[in-house]
Amino acid sequence: YGLLGHPVAHSLSPAMHNAAFAALGLDAVYLAFDVAPEGLEAALAGCLALGVAGLNVTVPHKEAALRLAAEADPTARLVGAANTLVAAEGGWRAFNTDVAGFARALAEDLGYAPRGRRAWIWGAGGAAKAAVVALASGGAQEIFVMNRNAIRAQDLARALAPRISPCRLEAVEITAFAPGPGDLLVGATPAGLDDGARWPWELGGLPELAVYDMAYRKGRETALVDQARAAGHRAASGRSMLLYQGAEAFRLWTGREAPVAVMARAMEE
């Protein structure tokens, strides 16, 4: 098993999955492979030829992985991105476990339930799409998507809005960010991986928000989470989402329930 992404050096997935394999006595190993975008198609074909049974796919490959898969489950098709691949006769089967992982992380880390509420998402890639689907499935009333490349945000809204009705989905300019009390702000870019990362807005002085940065770092919070907490907001990073999506991926690969507590401990070691 393995992870394809660019970069992957920070990933906790190998520790998490290898601990799970060991706990259940499975003869398996999970490795991380740094694959540039132009090498993804060859890497997927090579993994299949070598007998790799399953893969995770992370930034920036989630949308391309769906296009390159032989088949896809309904959630991956709805999102337009895949983060989990299962080897099958004839090619890879694509799944998206980010949707369930994100919803569970919001509930358990922030005590946040989206029903009837409004969310703002910074980013317009595969992770942002998963967040939109998770929030809409949970009953969110309005979702606004913002991205430095405004055309990508518009494309995302155009593609997903008809599929998630009655939730309202709209692409807005970054300067239009105007949250109300209890709104959710989601960071769905890799920006949080950088020490010098900043939100595009000053969060101090805003109404109290729930803030979730889908990025994560080993042993410490992301810069975006630190900023949000310093401004008085409830905030969490993507470690829990990684755990919960990983547990679902483990089940898809092995047919076994994942030892979530073992996986969580391995992520902290």
Nearest to 188 by CA among 110, 102, 264, 83: 102
- CA separation, residue 21 to residues 17, 30, 100, 253 (Å): 6, 9, 22, 11
Q: Is 62 a catalytic residue?
A: yes
Nearest to 144 by CA among 106, 113, 175, 99: 175
SS (H, E, C) 154-206: HHHHHHHHHHCCCCEEEECCHHHCCCCCCCEEEECCHHHHCCCCCCCCCCCCC
Q: Which helix H or strand E contains 87, and what residues bound it? A: strand 84-88
- How far is C-alpha 204 from the chain's CA centre? 26
User: For the chain, first and last CA: distance in Å?
Assistant: 21
| In contact, 100 and 135? CB cutoff 8 Å | no
Rounded to whole angstroms, how far apart are CA atoms 173 and 74?
30
Q: DSSP state, 52?
A: -
**Contact by Cβ (8 Å): 55, 30:** no
| List 61, 62, 93, 233, catalytic entry | 62
Which of these, 256, 214, 257, 248, lies nearest to 73 by C-alpha position?
248
Buried-exposed string 229-257: b where 16+ CB fall within 10 A, e elsewhere: eebebbbbbbbbbbbbbbbbbbeebbeee
Catalytic center residues: 62
